[in-house]
Structure 1
Amino acid sequence: MTDAKSVTIEFPCERYPIKVIGDAGEGFVDLVIEILSRHAPGLDVGTLVLRDSRNGRYQTVQLLITATSIDQLQDINSDLRATGRVHMVL
């Protein structure tokens, strides 16, 4: 049995899910796509799944990327969080 804390990712990892939760509003989805495209060239926006919170205050944007390294994932997280609109990156 594998402990969730000890899961190992082998790179490159195709179809790696990135879920971004942030303040809903104009340009949020485009912002997420722009940042992910910068770090994951060839991003397939056809994998985009968008969900609104019940009250419409937050949006969840999920996309699949090709993850190439831990550094790439950390850079994605840092750039998304630096926008001030993103609350969580999973």
Structure 2
Amino acid sequence: MSDSEETLLEFPCRFPIKAMGRASDDFQTLVVDIVERHAPGVEATAISTRPSNGGKWLAVTVTIEAHSKAQLDAIYAELTAHERVVWAL
């Protein structure tokens, strides 16, 4: 089955990857490093963060140029496997 049959997305496309974990000085770097292993060349303008109201959690969004469903699957697999990532969307 081809990528186009497995997803409604048309590749390449801009795609936001969001991950949340405990707020720390290096959580954003951790998420960006994981995403960049699969989508090199992420620009600083493509990264945003949002702390929770109490400041305990941090959501990091990295918008990439996605080229395939397999690429997105690999990013999500690595993010969700990391012990510091609570969830990824």
TM-score normalised over the length of structure 1: 0.83
Structure 2 Cα separation of the partners of residues 59 and 77 of structure 1: 17
**AA matched with 1:9:** L
Which residue number corresponds to residue 32 of structure 2? 33
TM-score normalised over the length of structure 2: 0.84
Contact persistence 1:49–1:63 (CA under 8 A): yes
**AA matched with 2:59:** T
Which residue number corresponds to residue 55 of structure 1? 54
Which residue number corresponds to residue 19 of structure 2? 20
Long gaps (5+) in structure 1: 1-6
Percent of aligned pairs sharing the same letter: 41
What is the aligned residue count?
83
Contact persistence 1:45–1:63 (CA under 8 A): no
Which residue number corresponds to residue 4 of structure 1? none
